[in-house]
């Protein structure tokens, strides 16, 4: 049980979610739907569905034009994707429809097999999607290298853009991307100006529309850019170019339905597999993107500051995607789309992101968008036939260019995967989607084998000491050369082995370990280093320690590993502190041992720790066994290393520089957070990090006594009051009712009532975290409580006297447990003279810097406030009061009720 008593039901990352039948609701989540209730549509879902509908209609027609398919097929697939995939899919906010990624593939299938056989291929791909979703294979699709996936989509985007450019120029596209590129010079020579000008106007509006400034710009941006560009181009074409080619929707009576496929079985199977692969990957990647957008929105962020409909911090969270269910839903939608003569369906990033940004809260928005498309297909035929083909082609061409994402290129280049990315794009553009994916996989495998096999080993003599430098990965392929190089060194001599790589397999490990044991047995000394020269898995201070005092956490039980029998611990000898199969870095040592900061084989016989990334964690001990195990570990590993320092402190007495008042919550490890050691902090811990004001009542003198002793006897230089996230004491305060039993806990928590009154009062500014608003009322109270307890501190006579002398400083601190992030209260507020009570983020910078803390301001210049880590906080609702409406998002302050 945590020291901060939790009143509300707490859901951690390791706890199982409560069942719907239990009646327990997640914090900040909408209530569960009532059984047997009617299908309810929120106002936000209705408005979002209209926004997505206005984007989907021109997009669907444009993709149908790009595929040379019947135009009504685009509307059919958009309606089915919205209604069927929206109802049955596993991503509530994802909007499905005609697949941009399948544009090139579908166009080629229509040209080779005809429209009716293409519909049958779509049905076959849908059936396979249902099968794979039932086999729970959706996660396996995400195992494909991101460089190949993004390269495939980028190659498809290039092919789309080249094909649609011909339509913008007033002609028809060729059969392949290469043919389209070769035919461009001739096409430019015989182009009439009407179609290119309409296409250029469409592109210009698409680019400028989201960036319109001012109040008028914010108002008109509520209309989607896709609809605005097509509408403006249609109006201009109706006046300036009445003879331009336009949309021609044939009669529904002539609409073609699928037929039994005719052609070579192998070719048809390849076509089905290609549609399956591209549609599934596009849908699953879009689902992952929707999850991230939804998490950003729940945290009060918007992915695009120019979004036509700003997302409010009060947007409710949505469950994460069920990818297997999503794949099954996409399969059912494809089967129905093929049966009704529609295009292949997949999740679309453009439509889905618009849905999230428009404020959709459930799958009702997706379903309604499909209903609107269905109604438009039957009632707006005359209006749709006014749209110029050049405008639709320009719209799709921009979508194709957007599929070549610069952020993806930068990522793959940073991870040295650009060769795979480039090869995939080239293969898709020149040969086709399936061929491009195969080329990308072949190049990825070749690059991986090259990296594993490429190992350079050099041996040099430096003043009688041999330096062995190993560049690259140590696998069994490098063992012969490694053995030969190590065998050339004199036995019993000193050697330094510099390892510059990130992987070592068992064969290489055995070779190095056997050679190291043989050298040391004959009186030699072997040191293993990284590229920087620092010892592998050794702290920067060169202190030989296996565990620091805080490492006996769960999954950090290096003390639970038995010593190797018959092998004494040698504090002056360094062994290879990594295990076979572990990855290691040049400067940090094995990634499995905490990055080299916590482990050193000189004092830990096993040479490694059980960290969370370690696959051989020892089960956690409980009760007396865990206590005895921890004490034994301290006596074995830590006591020999700190005995001299503790003996000095025993002789000289304690002289701490700080009084640290914090909560008794077990998750707060003060020595770790402050990077302090024995004798540095005089610590007071209690439930809620409370400081009772002087003369509160008898029985609460413990904290006052500690303050008086620290200030008058120990002469501390500063006092810090530290609150933390998820404090159960603050939750209990907010849940206190007049009939609460007068228990010991209540009698203590009443010292926090002034903090609660301060938060509700309009006479005090609300405490805030720099760059974002508090996540919820509990976090707001945690912050306000720190400020209030500092006021209580100033009321103590000894503290007031030292403050007047200028010999004491007060600090407020807030620690977010989930983010492992510390925040310091601004200096003015800590001193009691500041108006704004802002907690600034502490960053990892040089403490001697002129500005001691790296304060990251994440405020968007447009007024949107962003969190440093999306998804860590629930949304905060700004209530409306009698004084007026709540502040708009980004105002930097929440509305409060009067005290």
665 catalytically annotated? yes
Distances (CA, A) of 152 to 27, 269, 345, 399: 40, 20, 18, 15
Catalytic pick from 4, 558, 663, 782? 663
Contacts of 127 (CB under 8 A, 6+ apart): 331, 335
Cα 698 versus chain centre, distance: 50
Question: What is the spatial distance between Cα 299 and Cα 334, in angstroms, rounded to a whole number?
Answer: 34
Catalytic pick from 301, 727, 841, 864? 727
CA atoms within 13 A on the CB side of 676: 16
Contacts of 541 (CB under 8 A, 6+ apart): none
727 catalytically annotated? yes
Query: Rg (Cα) of the chain, in Å, rounded?
Result: 33
Q: Within a 10 A sphere around the Cβ of 136, how many other Cβ atoms?
A: 12
Question: What is the spatial distance between Cα 764 and Cα 836, in angstroms, rounded to a whole number?
Answer: 9
Catalytic pick from 525, 573, 667, 764? 667
Question: What is the spatial distance between Cα 29 and Cα 35, in angstroms, rounded to a whole number?
Answer: 18
The closest alpha carbon to 43, from 230, 286, 261, 309, belongs to: 309
The residue assigned the tokens 């009772």 is 692
Tokens of 457: 């080993």
Sequence-distant contacts of 739-743: CB under 8 A, at least 24 apart: none
845 catalytically annotated? no
Tokens of 757: 């009154």
Q: To the nearest 10°, the Cα dihedral for 76, 78, 80, 82?
A: -160
**Cβ atoms of residues 65 and 71 within 8 Å:** yes
First to last CA, the chain: 33
546 catalytically annotated? no
The closest alpha carbon to 238, from 386, 383, 382, belongs to: 386
Q: At residue 685, what are phi and psi to the nearest 5 degrees?
A: -120, 130
CA angle 448, 453, 454 (to 5 degrees): 100
Going edge to edge, which strands form the sheet with 455-462?
Answer: 455-462, 465-472, 495-500, 526-529
Question: What is the spatial distance between Cα 270 and Cα 285, in angstroms, rounded to a whole number?
Answer: 22
For CA atoms 363, 364, 369, 375, give the dihedral sign. positive
**Under DSSP, is residue 500 helix (H, G, I), strand (E, B) or coil?**
strand
722 catalytically annotated? no
Contacts of 827 (CB under 8 A, 6+ apart): 834
Distances (CA, A) of 647 to 116, 637, 642, 678, 679: 88, 17, 9, 11, 12
Catalytic pick from 544, 557, 724, 802? 724
The residue assigned the tokens 């290691």 is 584
Catalytic pick from 291, 600, 610, 665? 665
Residues known to be catalytic: 663, 665, 667, 724, 727
């Amino acid at each position: 049980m945590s020291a901060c008593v939790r009143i509300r039901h707490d859901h951690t990352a390791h706890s199982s979610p409560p069942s719907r039948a239990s009646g327990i609701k997640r914090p900040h989540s909408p209530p569960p739907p009532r059984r047997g209730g009617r299908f309810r549509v929120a106002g936000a879902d209705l408005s979002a569905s209209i926004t997505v509908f206005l984007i989907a209609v021109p997009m669907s027609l444009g993709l149908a034009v790009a595929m040379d398919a019947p135009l009504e097929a685009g509307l059919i697939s958009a309606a089915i994707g919205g209604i069927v995939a929206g109802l049955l899919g596993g991503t509530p906010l994802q909007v499905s429809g005609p697949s941009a990624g399948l544009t090139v593939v579908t166009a080629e299938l229509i040209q080779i097999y005809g429209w009716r056989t293409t519909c049958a291929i779509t049905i076959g791909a849908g059936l396979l999607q249902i099968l794979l979703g039932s086999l729970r294979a959706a996660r396996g699709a995400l195992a494909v290298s991101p460089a190949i996936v993004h390269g495939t989509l980028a190659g498809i985007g290039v092919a789309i853009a080249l094909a649609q450019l011909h339509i913008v120029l007033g002609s028809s596209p060729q059969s392949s991307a290469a043919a389209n590129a070769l035919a461009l010079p001739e096409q430019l020579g015989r182009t009439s100006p009407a179609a290119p000008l309409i296409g250029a106007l469409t592109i210009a509006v698409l680019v400028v529309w989201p960036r319109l400034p001012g109040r008028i710009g914010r108002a008109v941006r509520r209309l989607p850019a896709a609809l605005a560009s097509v509408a403006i181009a249609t109006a201009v074409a109706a006046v300036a170019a009445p003879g331009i080619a336009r949309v021609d929707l044939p009669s529904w009576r002539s609409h073609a339905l699928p037929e039994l496929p005719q052609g070579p079985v192998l070719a048809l199977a390849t076509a089905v597999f290609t549609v399956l692969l591209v549609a599934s990957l596009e849908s699953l990647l879009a689902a992952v993107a929707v999850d991230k957008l939804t998490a950003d929105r729940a945290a009060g962020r918007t992915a695009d500051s120019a979004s036509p409909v700003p997302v409010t911090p009060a947007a409710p969270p949505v469950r994460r995607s069920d990818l297997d269910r999503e794949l099954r839903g996409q399969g059912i939608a494809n089967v129905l789309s093929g049966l009704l003569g529609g295009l292949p369906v997949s999740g679309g990033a453009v439509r889905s992101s618009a849905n999230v940004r428009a404020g959709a809260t459930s799958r009702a928005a997706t379903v309604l968008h499909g209903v609107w498309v269905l109604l438009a297909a039957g009632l707006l035929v005359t209006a749709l036939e006014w749209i110029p083909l050049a405008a639709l082609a320009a719209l799709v061409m921009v979508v194709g260019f957007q599929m070549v994402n610069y952020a993806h290129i930068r990522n793959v280049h940073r991870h040295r995967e650009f060769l795979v990315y480039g090869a995939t794009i080239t293969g898709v553009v020149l040969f086709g989607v399936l061929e491009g994916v195969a080329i990308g996989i072949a190049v990825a495998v070749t690059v991986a084998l090259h990296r594993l096999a490429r190992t350079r080993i050099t041996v040099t003599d430096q003043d009688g000491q041999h330096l062995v430098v190993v560049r690259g990965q140590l696998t069994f392929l490098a063992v012969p050369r490694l053995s030969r190089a190590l065998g050339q060194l004199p036995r019993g001599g000193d050697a330094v082995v510099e390892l510059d790589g990130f992987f070592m397999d068992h064969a290489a490990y055995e070779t190095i370990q056997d050679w190291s044991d043989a050298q040391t047995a004959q009186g030699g000394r072997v040191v293993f280093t990284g590229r920087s020269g620092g010892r592998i898995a050794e702290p920067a201070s060169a202190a030989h320690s296996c565990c620091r005092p805080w490492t006996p956490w769960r999954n950090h039980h290096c003390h639970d590993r038995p010593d190797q029998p018959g092998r004494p611990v040698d504090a002056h000898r360094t062994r290879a502190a990594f295990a076979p199969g572990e990855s290691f870095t040049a400067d940090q040592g094995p990634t499995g041992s905490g990055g080299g900061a916590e482990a050193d084989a000189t004092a830990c016989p096993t040479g490694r720790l059980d960290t969370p990334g370690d696959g051989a964690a020892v089960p956690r001990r409980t009760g007396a066994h865990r206590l005895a195990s921890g004490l034994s570990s301290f006596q074995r590993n830590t006591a020999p290393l700190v005995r001299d320092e503790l003996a000095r402190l025993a002789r000289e007495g304690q002289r701490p520089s700080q009084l640290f008042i914090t909560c008794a919550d077990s998750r707060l490890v003060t020595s770790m957070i402050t990077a302090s050691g024995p004798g540095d902090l005089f610590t007071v811990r209690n439930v809620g990090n409370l400081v009772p004001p002087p003369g509160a009542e008898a029985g609460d003198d413990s904290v006052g006594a500690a303050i008086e002793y620290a200030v008058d006897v120990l002469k501390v230089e500063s006092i810090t009051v530290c609150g933390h996230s998820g404090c159960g004491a603050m939750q209990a305060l907010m849940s206190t009712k007049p009939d609460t039993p007068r228990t010991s806990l209540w009698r203590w928590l009443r010292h926090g009532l002034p903090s609660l009154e301060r938060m509700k009062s309009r006479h005090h500014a609300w405490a805030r975290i720099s760059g974002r608003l508090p996540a919820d009322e509990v976090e707001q109270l945690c912050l306000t409580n720190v400020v209030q307890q500092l006021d209580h501190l100033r009321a103590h006579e000894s503290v007031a006297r030292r403050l007047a002398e200028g010999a004491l400083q007060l600090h407020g601190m807030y620690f977010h447990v989930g983010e492992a992030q510390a925040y310091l209260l601004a200096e003015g507020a800590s001193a009691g003279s500041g108006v704004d009570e802002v907690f600034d983020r502490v960053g990892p910078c040089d403490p001697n810097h002129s500005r001691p803390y790296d304060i990251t301001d994440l405020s968007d210049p447009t007024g949107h406030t962003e969190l440093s880590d999306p998804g860590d906080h629930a949304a905060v609702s700004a209530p409306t009061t009698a004084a007026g409406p709540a502040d708009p998002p980004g105002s930097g302050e929440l509305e409060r009720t009067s005290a």
